[in-house]
Structure 1
Amino acid sequence: MNWGMKIVIGLGTFMLFIVGAGIYMVTQDSDSLLDDDYYEKSLAYDEVYDRKQNLVDDHAKPSIRLEQDTLVIVFKRPINKGQLVFRRPSDGTLDTKIPFYTDTEVFRLPISTFVKGSWSLEISWENNNKAYIDTQSLYVQ
C-alpha cells in the first residue's frame, strides 16, 4: 500500500467520523437550557431586577436551613405569599414549583420526597405589596 492510498483511507475515515457525529447530534433532542421560555423571561427581566433590588434595599434576604427532612425558611417579616421553584441542575424533569403562604416569619416544607443532591432554590414572594426574589443553592442529604 502506497502513501496515496493511506491518505485516502485517512481522509475517508475522518469524513465518516464527522458525518456520524453530525447525525448523532441532530438526532439527539436533549437541550441543556434551564428554561424553555428563556426569551420571554429575558424580555421581562426588569421586573426580576426590581425584585432583586427590593431584596437588597430592604435587607429582606431570607435564611434557609435544613432540619432533618424539613426545609426551614426564615423571612425578615411575617405574612409572606409566593412561590418556591426547586431546580435540579442534573435533571430538569425533577424541577418543582410550590406556592406558599405563611402568617409568621417561618415557613417549613417537608422535603423527604426530594432526590438527594444539589438543588437551586428560587424564592419569589410578596410582603406588604412589595415583591422580592432570591436564589440560593441547597444540598439535600
Structure 2
Amino acid sequence: MNWGVKLMIGMLCFMSFIIVLAVLMMKSKTDALVDTDYYEKGLDYDKDYNRKEQVNADNAAPIIQIVDGNISLKFKDKAEGDVKLVRNADKRLDKKLTISTDTLNTVKIPLKGIEKGQWRLIISWTTDGKAYLNEQEVMIP
C-alpha cells in the first residue's frame, strides 16, 4: 500500500466518524438543562425575587433539620404553602408537597420514598398575607 491509499482510508474513517456523530446528535433528546417553559419562568422572576427578599426583610427563613427519618421545617409563624424537593441529578425524582404548620409552627416531611443524596428544597409559603420563597440545599443521609 502506498501513501495515497493510506490517506484515503484515513479520510474515509474520519468522515465516517463525523457522520456517525451527526446522526447520534440528531437522534438525541432535547437538552435537559433547558426548561421547556423558560419564557414563563422569566416573566415570573420578579415575583420570585420579591418573595425571596421578603424572607430576608422579615428574617423568616425556616430552620431545616433532618430528625428521626423526617425533614423538619421550623417556621417563625404559622405558614401554609408548598415544598418542592428537586433532585438535580434526576428530574424524575422531583416531588411537590403541600404543607401546613402544626401548633409549634413546624412541618415534618417523611423521608420514606426520598432517595439519599443532595436535594434542593424550594419552599413557597404565606404567613399573615405575605408571600415568601426560600431555597436551600439539603443532604439526605
Q: Partners in 1 of 2:52 and 2:113 — Cα distance? A: 30
Is the 1:34–1:92 contact (alpha carbons within 8 Å) kept by the matching residues of 2? no
TM-score normalised to structure 2 length:
0.91
| Aligned partner of residue 13 in structure 1, secondary structure | helix
Q: Determine whether 1:83 maps to 2:66.
A: no
Cross-structure match for 1:101: 100
Between the two proteins, the alignment pairs up a number of residues equal to: 140
Is the 1:87–1:120 contact (alpha carbons within 8 Å) kept by the matching residues of 2? yes
Alpha-carbon shift at residue 30 of structure 1 (Å): 5.4
Q: Partners in 2 of 1:128 and 1:108 — Cα distance? A: 21
Q: Partners in 1 of 2:129 and 2:3 — Cα distance? A: 78
Q: Determine whether 1:10 maps to 2:10.
A: yes
Cross-structure match for 1:137: 137
Question: Residue type of the partner of 1:101?
Answer: S
Cross-structure match for 1:125: 125
Q: Partners in 1 of 2:113 and 2:34 — Cα distance? A: 22
Runs of 5+ consecutive residues of structure 1 not aligned to the other structure: none
> CA RMSD for the aligned pairs?
1.5
Runs of 5+ consecutive residues of structure 2 not aligned to the other structure: none
Q: Partners in 2 of 1:56 and 1:29 — Cα distance? A: 39
| Aligned partner of residue 29 in structure 2, secondary structure | coil
Cross-structure match for 2:72: 72
Question: Residue type of the partner of 2:52?
Answer: K
TM-score normalised to structure 1 length:
0.91
Cross-structure match for 1:61: 61
Cross-structure match for 2:24: 24
Cross-structure match for 2:111: 111
